[in-house]
Amino acid sequence: MKSEKIYRGFYSNMRFNPTFFLMGCACGKEVIEVNGKPYTIKTRVGEGGFSVVDLVQDQKTHKLYALKRIACHSKEDEKNALREAEYHNLFNHANILECIDVTLVERCDRLHPTRSEVRLLLPYFRKGTLQDELNMRSKNKNHITEERILRIFRQMCDGIRVIHSAQPHPLAHRDAKPANVLMGNDDTPVWMDFGSMGKARQEIRKASEARVLQDLAAEKCSMAFRAPELFHVESHSSIDERVDVWSLGCCLYAMCYFNSPFEAAHQRGDSVALAVMSGNIDFPENTPYSNGMHNLIRSMLEVSALQRPFIDGVLFQIDSLLPAIQNTV
């Protein structure tokens, strides 16, 4: 069933947990409620250490949705899961996924060792993720045109810009990657999976704070898209929203060449951290893309965050490239 591709970004980094998997058979007849409203589970999209995603259908309207179910073992887990739902609806932007409904369900039986489950009802996207398209295209090296890449990527940057402009303080997505971009039928990219999102600007004063942030990044930020400053967090340093700009640079490279520029190191078993810290970005010799595209990628993949542009600078570069590309089409 094609729907099994949907929302891969929610579970691409999850670890399988057989105990949590027993919470539902996803047999097509099981009914699950969100705030008293019944939904039929159509299929299990994915499962992981602490959450699963099911494709569900409203029993009354027959409309399809994605239901993310987060297992919570503590009050802190509940707080984090509910905050994720809040992030979905904080922005009200076309390039950021909304959360249609959310509920917290307490558990008190021995079959379910978790104390509760947070359920996020989310829109269903038939086309799946940007990563799905890249995987399909990579089989035959079927490159996306430069104009379409820039048009989609600009909207991706628009969504990140809204996140970076959050009040009362800027936020960072911290796991920006093609698997976390849903594609609408009109080619609109929509960011999802805000489990890694948090306050963008942080001052690290002590070694203990550096270790906590580095461990958190290792747990929540995909390695091939993780900014260099998150691999080796130093005390007496600062981190800001430009961690997302690095990730966006990796996304743009992947939109051109199907994978992050650091995916090859991961596949070889080499140190991704060393590859990232080296700052060496290789482009294929026979490329269908302009020098302007490559320069945009290079500017976002500056190892030094201080030399990396903020998102407004990225948008300025895109807007400089688009007219030239459109005139050649």
| Residues designated as active site | 175
- How many angstroms separate the CA atoms of 258 and 170, rounded? 30
- How many angstroms separate the CA atoms of 280 and 260, rounded? 13
Alpha helices in 120-206 (DSSP H): 130-138, 146-164
- How many angstroms separate the CA atoms of 191 and 249, rounded? 16
Q: Count the residues in the chain.
A: 329
One-letter amino acid for residue 204 of the chain: I
Q: What is the DSSP string of 18-66?
A: HHHHTT----SS-EEEETTEEEEEEEEEEE-SSEEEEEEEETTT--EEE
- How many angstroms separate the CA atoms of 328 and 304, rounded? 34
One-letter amino acid for residue 132 of the chain: D
The two tokens of residue 189 are: 């990219």
118 and 69 Cβ atoms separated by less than 8 Å = yes
